A and B are shown apart, each in its own frame.
Chain A
Amino acid sequence: MSGRQPVLTMTAISKSFPGVRALDGVDFRLFPGEVHALMGENGAGKSTLIKVLTGVYGNDAGVISLAGQQVSFSGPMQAAAAGVSTVYQEVNLCANLSVAENIFIGREPRTLGAIRWGEMRRRARDLLVKLDLHIDVTQLLGTYSLAVQQMVAIARAIDIQARVLILDEPTSSLDATEVEQLFRIMRQLRDEGIAIIFVTHFLDQVYGIADRITVLRNGRLVGEYPTAELPQLALVEKMIGKELDVLESLDEHAKRDLAAIEANTPFLQAEELGRKGSVVPFSLTIHAGEVVGLAGLLGSGRTEVARLLFGADRADHGKVAVDGKPTSLRNPIAAIGHDIAFCSENRRTEGLVGELSVRENIILAMQAARGWLRPIPRRRQDELVDKYVKALSIRPADPEIPVRNLSGGNQQKVLLARWLITEPRLLILDEPTRGIDVGAKAEIQKLVVQLSDGGMAVLFISAELEEVLRLSHKIAVMRDRQLVTELANDHTVDADRVMQTIASGTHHEGPEA
């Protein structure tokens, strides 16, 4: 590529937030007709770099040039007008508007100031058909799944006639076929000469599509490499800045003797527990010290099971026993009373209070459990918080900065710390590693193993089978809002077999059976 001119160069970009130096002299260049992966752990500065580029944040120092011209965008609209379009990690569209409008709002076709709805709908349909998406564009966006919404967001970005298309974690809510569909579009756009910045945590996807990789770490540039010359292991090492062998050591954990665990007293027994329109009645037993993996596709009812067990939704069918005694988990307070903790999937909306500090967020659940009339002494708070900030290596290690300034992975750790501090006996983790980087992922996985070794029961929900297989003693497979089977995670179980079970919905016996 040396002979060609980059379409975009960012030179010596710096940006600070109160308490956090998010970017420190970062260089970045992008050539036309390439897919360029921007990699780094959470908090490495990827999102900040993109927001500086599109003018959401101003930069403290550095120069941005687009096609040789120095630019400084005042916001996403100006950036888009200059040909730099972004699709963000979370779908940033309006669910209350129609699909067609979400694609065209701000750029609607008009005559004399009046929007031409027919023309807009027709163009929206054409555009979505190009993306192989056949939906009714007059329906409200909110009536479609997250994956469809993501594709609509991409359609919007593409239609702006982008020269530079930024995809910030576009795949975190898509399933395998949808990812493939997206990649096909990305290749098509790349071949048309569009430069694509692709931010993701999925290493396989990077190797599946990216031409070059730029790695950031702690707000600094590590380097820029052609994908072919950077093996996966080397990439991970560059991202986390140290050799990675934690994951390997975890692999043995799950294959331990399930019988020993099952000999423990069951902590929680759910019998034919269900809720109309949410989950078909299921039975599940979780023992002390046991990690139960909950596998299944997005929307298969995994989260709904967790919500029932935590009392966030009320069961209308079946029985629950804790420590062998029948009880009812009719609301989260009851569940917390039984030492059950629930780390929700949507950490931003359901878990953390962005404006409060790390310390205040961590103390929240414990304080609630004690009752508000018995405040926890500040010294005790500091002790506890320090302990967990260290144990989970939350970065930056300053407990007084607002949680909203932390990266996704670190927010997840804060949420975990909040529940761990209450010393639960059953910890429900709903997608604890989604959208966070390899390093943080490994740390969280290690933590799950430690906790279960210490006698805590864990219900581990994840879309990544590898992770479920690595950690679980027992895997419960969900399909179409139904718990189809339980697999003991012995040496006969591998990803293929779980996948088959998810696909077919029946219990396949191992080859020796």
Chain B
Amino acid sequence: MTTTSLTPTRDWWRIPQRYVPVLATLTLLLVMYGVGVSQYRAFSNVQVIFNVFIDNGFLLVVAVGMTFVILTGGIDLSVGSVVAMTAMMSASLLQGGVHPAPVLVIALLVGPMLGFLMGCVIHFFEIQPFIVTLAGMFFARGMCTFISKSSIPITDPFWTSMAQERIGDPKGNFVSISVLVAFVVVIVGAFVLAYTRLGRNVYALGGNQQSALLMGLPVGQTKIAVYAISGLCSAIGGILLSFYTLSGAPLIAVGMELDVIAAVVIGGTVLTGGSGYVFGTVLGVLVLGVIRTLITFDGSLNSWWTKIVIGGLLFAFILLQRLIGIRKK
């Protein structure tokens, strides 16, 4: 970024406040990684990082969609259920002998469609996103058990090849297809937010809806679009999850929406909207992943410690956001 300087040069070292939360997350991530490396010899293995991506690829994709929603000041509680529903639907269709190509198309259509409908309800009836997406969450979870009460295994060759494909370097480090898909989603998401009108309208809407309206921005379309985008990301996330587990289970990804929201907020996106970056969300997801890895490496700690640490971090980050908000005033 070239800023021909109208700001005094003595301020060159000063970090713009909008980047502070993201940098805080980055620092936290580096510190945690440093702790891991210093405590456990195997932690410095590159594959540890790759595994964090492999295990959290689907979470990352869903979190990108959630970033759009939260940037407008909204929330989407339906993502976990939509992920599960997409995985269930794919598993069920594949079990019924449908070719993988139409399965992918259908799976990728249902999520955004539900998001679109929820967006329409939120916009046209001026209902709180919280309650609309809560309804969507119950609906999609109900659909899972409607499809099947028990887990459906996936044996389709395309799916299994996707699950087993390893893309790696000669030293044997590798990532899965999911990670590549997640990277594409992250890059597209970041591009849309930074370089398209839709993306900028998302920020404007989160900053001040009334102003956005008076500036003549398509507020309604933008609002509906973010929920559809979140639905699409959940659908992609659902497919990635079905690659990962090679099954569809009605009770998978329960409570995942809360992990996703936590990741987005820890990544520096302000819950009231208007400020945040996809890059921050990537960091947020990594923070969650590294916490889990650390606890796994320790071996003696109960996995619930993950929740406790995430809880503490969430507190710290919303306080940080608040402090920055107050200082701005």
Contact = CB atoms under 8 A, between A and B. Distances in A.
Interface of A: 56, 75-80, 86, 88, 92-97, 101, 105-106, 108, 110, 113-115, 117-118, 134-140, 142-143, 156
Interface in B285-329: 328
B216 A94 contact: no
Contacts of A117: 195
Contact of A95 (B6, B207, B218): B207
User: What 3 A-B pairs come out closest when comparing CB atoms?
Assistant: A77-B216, A94-B207, A96-B207
B1 A138 contact: yes
A105 B207 contact: no
Interface in B183-234: 191, 194-197, 200-201, 203-204, 206-208, 210-218
A118 B208 contact: no
Contact of B195 (A75, A114, A140): A114
A135 B7 CA distance: 8
5 contacts: A96-B208, A97-B204, A97-B207, A105-B204, A136-B3
Chain B interface category by residue count: 20 to 34
B2 interface: yes
Most buried by B among A97, A110, A115, A143: A97
B208 to A, nearest CB: 5
Nearest to B4: A125
Contacts of B196: 113-115
Q: Most chain-B Cβ atoms within 10 A of its Cβ — which of A76, A93, A105, A117? A: A105
Nearest to B203: A97
A139 B7 contact: yes
Contacts of A114: 191, 195-196
Contact of A94 (B5, B194, B208): B208
A106 B197 contact: yes
Given A94-B211, A96-B275, A97-B204, 17 more contacts: A75-B213, A76-B216, A77-B216, A88-B214, A96-B207, A97-B200, A105-B201, A108-B197, A114-B195, A115-B194, A115-B195, A115-B197, A117-B195, A118-B2, A136-B6, A142-B328, A156-B215
Contacts, number: 87
Contacts of A79: 216
Nearest to B214: A92
Contacts of A96: 203, 206-208, 274-275
Contacts of A142: 328
Contacts of B7: 136, 139
B207 A134 contact: no
Nearest to B270: A96
B265 to A, nearest CB: 17
A113 B200 CA distance: 12
Given A95-B208, A96-B207, A105 B6 contact: no
Contacts of B216: 75-80, 106
A56 B208 CA distance: 17
Contact of A105 (B3, B5, B195, B217): B217
Contacts of A108: 197, 200
Interface in B1-51: 1-3, 5-7, 16, 18
Contacts of A118: 2
Nearest to A138: B3
Contacts of A88: 214
Nearest to A77: B216
A134 B7 CA distance: 10
Contacts of B195: 114-115, 117
B140 to A, nearest CB: 32
A438 B56 CA distance: 65
Contacts of B218: 77
Contact of A110 (B197, B207, B213, B275): B197
A77 B217 contact: yes
Nearest to A51: B214
A93 B200 contact: no
B214 A94 contact: no
Contacts of B217: 77, 105-106
Contacts of A92: 208, 210-211, 214-215
A56 to B, nearest CB: 7
A86 to B, nearest CB: 8
A93 B203 contact: no
A135 B214 contact: no
A117 B195 CA distance: 8
A105 B204 CA distance: 9
B153 to A, nearest CB: 42
A76 B197 contact: no
Contacts of B275: 96
Contacts of B194: 115
Nearest to A118: B2
Interface in B246-276: 274-275
A425 to B, nearest CB: 31
B312 to A, nearest CB: 28
Given A94-B207, A94-B208, A56 B274 contact: no
Nearest to B209: A94
A94 B18 contact: no
Given A97-B207, A142-B328, A115 B3 contact: no
In this complex, which of A86, A110, A142, A156 has the most chain B Cβ atoms within 10 angstroms of its Cβ? A142
Contacts of A106: 197, 201, 215-217
A33 to B, nearest CB: 25
Contact of B274 (A76, A77, A94): A94
A152 B130 CA distance: 35
Nearest to A156: B215
Given A134-B6, A138-B1, A138-B3, A115 B200 contact: yes
Contacts of A136: 3, 5-7
A140 B18 contact: yes
B294 to A, nearest CB: 34
Contacts of A140: 16, 18
Contacts of B203: 94, 96-97
Interface in B157-192: 191
Nearest to A93: B211
A78 B214 CA distance: 11
Contacts of A93: 208, 211, 215
Residue picked from A78, A135, A138, most chain B C-beta under 10 Å: A138
A230 to B, nearest CB: 32
Contacts of A75: 213, 216
A174 B2 CA distance: 32
A156 B16 CA distance: 24
A393 to B, nearest CB: 30
A152 to B, nearest CB: 12
Given A96-B275, A142-B328, A76 B200 contact: no
A106 B207 CA distance: 15
B11 to A, nearest CB: 10
Contacts of B201: 105-106
A94 B197 contact: no
B212 A94 contact: yes
Select the residue from B216, B218, B328 with max chain A CB neighbours within 10 A: B216
A171 B49 CA distance: 57
A136 B4 CA distance: 8
B200 A105 contact: yes
Contacts of A76: 213-216
